[in-house]
Amino acid sequence: MRRVAWRSAWWRVAALAVLVLLVAFLAGFGWFLHLASRPGAAPPHADGIVALTGGAERVEAGLRLLADRRADRLLVSGTGGGTELVTLAHRAGLDPAPLAERVTLGRSASTTRGNAMETAAWVRDHHIGSLIVVTAFYHMPRALAELHRAMPGTTLLSWPVLRPDGSGAHRVAIRLLLEEYTKYLLAVSGLSAWIQWQEPLHGNHTE
């Protein structure tokens, strides 16, 4: 009889613990959506721009900001091995010639953490103090977490694309948001350094 009562009590505690974890997860997910939905605020001018590949409109937005003289230089981080500036500029409706000397195509990163490492090295090489970060709105919280860790002295300014105001956000599935939230938790906890997930390069992913 005591064993049955003990098992019943144990299951009640376990169920309560699961419920508390679920509520915490959902509350955190709500906060994540709040962070992701904040609008960008690019300044009149920054030292540099980084566009993180892996989704639609990221590189194009970065190139347009550069063409508008919002910054002196642009790093396209995580560029596929066969992708060249001419192709990227034409996608953005821009002439690549005036931009060529101001654009770096980073080819070593295949994850968001890799983007952060690649960007940190580029920032050091070019003495950049302020950086506009261009990526999808749902990816921005995790990207900023990784970038802050890699270069804590650099001012980061977000410029989200596929904003949650309707400009493409309808294509973002709840599954993707939950997946991104989970990865964000790993990034802010520092555990992303131990988990190597491959992320799609520009041109292979359109979410």
- The Cα–Cα gap between 187 and 55 comes to 19
Residue 204 confidence (pLDDT): 36
Given a cut of 60, is residue 205 above it in pLDDT? no
Q: What is the DSSP string of 83-139?
A: --HHHHHHHTT--SGGGGGGEEEE-S--SHHHHHHHHHHHHHHHT--EEEEEEETTT
3-state secondary structure 6-22: HHHHHHHHHHHHHHHHH
Residue 103 confidence (pLDDT): 97
pTM, to two decimals:
0.80
Residue 196 confidence (pLDDT): 58
The Cβ of residue 102 has, within 10 Å, a number of other Cβ atoms equal to 14
Q: How many residues would you count in the chain?
A: 207
Containing 4, the helix (H) or strand (E) segment is helix 2-36
pLDDT in tens, 54-78: 887 899 999 999 999 999 999 999 9
What type of residue sits at position 164?
A: P
Instruction: Identify the band that residue 201 occupies on the pLDDT scale cut at 50, 70 and 90.
Output: very low
**Residue 103: both structure tokens together:** 């654009």
| Pairing label, strands 46-52, 71-77 | parallel
- The Cα–Cα gap between 130 and 134 comes to 13
The Cβ of residue 42 has, within 10 Å, a number of other Cβ atoms equal to 18
- The Cα–Cα gap between 119 and 60 comes to 18
pLDDT in tens, 125-177: 999 999 999 999 999 999 999 999 999 999 999 999 876 554 455 555 777 88
CA 119 to chain centre: 12
- The Cα–Cα gap between 59 and 30 comes to 28
Does residue 139 contact residue 162 with C-beta atoms inside 8 Å? no
Residue 148 confidence (pLDDT): 95
pLDDT in tens, 86-139: 999 999 999 999 999 999 999 989 899 999 999 999 999 999 999 999 999 999
User: What are the chain's domains?
Assistant: 37-194 (3.40.50.620)
